[in-house]
Chain A
């Protein structure tokens, strides 16, 4: 049994899965705006591939729960004929749509035959999976990749999805609302002293986020001075020695990590961390912060409230 063989696939998978978390409350989608753009349209996607879309897609498959949320939020739920899998649980209607995922060595690739049989005219996905993307393109399926690296990039991605689906107006409304919420958070915590904090993405091993990740950007915007600012990789395994020495004042745990605040406090060495001593260990909904989709603004507000409770209590 040799686990090393799986390394590259699993690292990619960890990133993919972290982009797929679970639900909250339904959001009301604006009605699909009539297409005002001209088709065909040619854009370069986040994989660097030039993609031409001939007409507003009528049969869309989303491969990533974040993309499913974006498509619903743009009022295109009726055009959605396939989603990735059981993670695609928001809004609740998504759960009734055909699932195309669960293929490949690790069950994270789309089933190529199923995708083709759905006669999709657009497959909207995220980074990774070059092999099946190439295969689908050879079979005539239009594949478009978006990969949000931070909040601004997410707004840009949503506008791009609006452009390629003929829903630019809805995208403008949606991103305008999200930008306003981010602005409100900035106004509330921007002048506050930053709080030293640590974000646990997973345990064990103690895994956090590096400065070039989407979640890290949200943390910074919410007023977190992360102790992982010097991390070199995106999802580093973090030394507990270092964590105890840094002594963050707030300890945030992604809800998908699956532990309670009490369980965190009981781990060896954690009793010396100020956040644990001060009862500042909080669970954060993974769905709201690790899925680059429309609910991220809500997640940003939730983070800001945890980091700066005094600002929001008045």
Chain B
């Protein structure tokens, strides 16, 4: 990658995000022309008269179904990508993803317990999301406490504790599912991940946490660069390493918990988006974080668009789409980069 292409990457990703939003709002089981969308939005903002010749159902689809879903996709994609970037820098491990310290498994267990306890109507409410959020943060806290020996937390211990706790929680989930009877369909849906069900409720519930997490992550981008050099170097360069580790863990966990609680388990985005963007903009977190956030949001929106329209009017799980679309693209970039590196050598 040249310095020139790096400079243009962020504006280009911004443009991609805007284009993705426009496309995702326009397409679906029913197509809504961008012009119609614009007129309806102006009307909603009391800036224009109600557009004539647009059926009521179109307005309902736009405002109650499609807009919140597209925004939620953007938020979830951005949060997962940001969490993945933070964890990869903090753990100095390319395998780190938002689920790395058991947050996703904890969220799943929380959600599943509420699905099993709350019969019927409870599922329509936000109870499942709230339980997932609590389960996620509790798990992160438990992992952190387990890994903490004396005043400091060893990153390797944290990683292993996270993997062990996640394995235990996953086993409990399998056990619970064995006895879940008819609710297994809701659990299955939740495990696969989806953005459809709850509209603005989810957007409103998750966005404060996600916004907070993203602001803290952006603000600590420079410190993430330091920690990537190793803890000793970072400390020599003036970073309060222990405090920074706690803040980063909390930030990543908060972002993941917020995303998982409203979307279920959507894999791949958090792991691969930072890698893909690193190939495009380099490893400097001050550039990588915003790029990952924009890229993750766009990718999630497009993946959900495919999930909604590929076998229209049926829907397919968005988590499957993210991996199927993103995997080959990542492998292509990876091979191209390696080839270029070899040619330079």
Contact = CB atoms under 8 A, between A and B. Distances in A.
Given A105-B178, A241-B29, A6 B188 contact: yes
Given A244-B57, A259-B121, A268-B199, A205 B191 contact: no
Contacts of B186: 202, 204
A241 B308 contact: yes
A165 B189 CA distance: 40
Interface string A237-276: 1111110110100000000111110010011110110000
B320 interface: yes
A17 B182 contact: yes
A51 interface: no
Contact of B184 (A13, A203, A232, A256): A13
Nearest to A267: B124
B22 interface: no
Contacts of B315: 205, 236-239
A258 B41 CA distance: 36
Interface string A189-217: 00000000000001111110000000000
A44 to B, nearest CB: 32
B328 interface: no
A312 interface: no
A313 interface: no
Nearest to A204: B197
B53 interface: no
A21 to B, nearest CB: 9
Given A1-B108, A232-B311, A107 B178 contact: yes
A260 B121 contact: yes
Interface in A92-124: 105-107
Nearest to B104: A1
Contacts of A269: 60-61, 64-65, 199
B145 interface: no
**B interface secondary structure, majority:** helix
Contact of A17 (B66, B181, B192): B181
Given A232-B314, A268-B65, A272-B56, A245 B185 contact: no
B62 to A, nearest CB: 10
Interface residues of B, number: 58
Contacts of A105: 174, 178
Given A244-B61, A258-B121, A10 B185 contact: yes
B184 A240 contact: no
B213 interface: no
A240 B65 contact: yes
Interface string A2-45: 11101100100110010000000000000000000000000000
A3 B61 contact: no
A131 interface: no
Nearest to A271: B60
B29 A205 contact: no
Interface stretch (B78-86, B165-173, B228-236, B336-344): B165-173
Given A245-B29, A259-B123, A269-B64, 4 more contacts: A106-B177, A205-B189, A239-B29, A245-B57
Interface of A: 1-4, 6-7, 10, 13-14, 17, 105-107, 202-207, 230-233, 236-242, 244-245, 247, 256-260, 263, 266-269, 271-272
10 contacts: A3-B190, A3-B191, A6-B177, A203-B124, A231-B313, A231-B314, A239-B28, A239-B315, A259-B120, A268-B198
Interface of B: 28-30, 56-58, 60-61, 64-66, 68, 99, 104-105, 108, 119-121, 123-124, 166, 169-170, 173-174, 177-179, 181-182, 184-186, 188-194, 196-201, 265, 267, 308, 311-316, 319-320
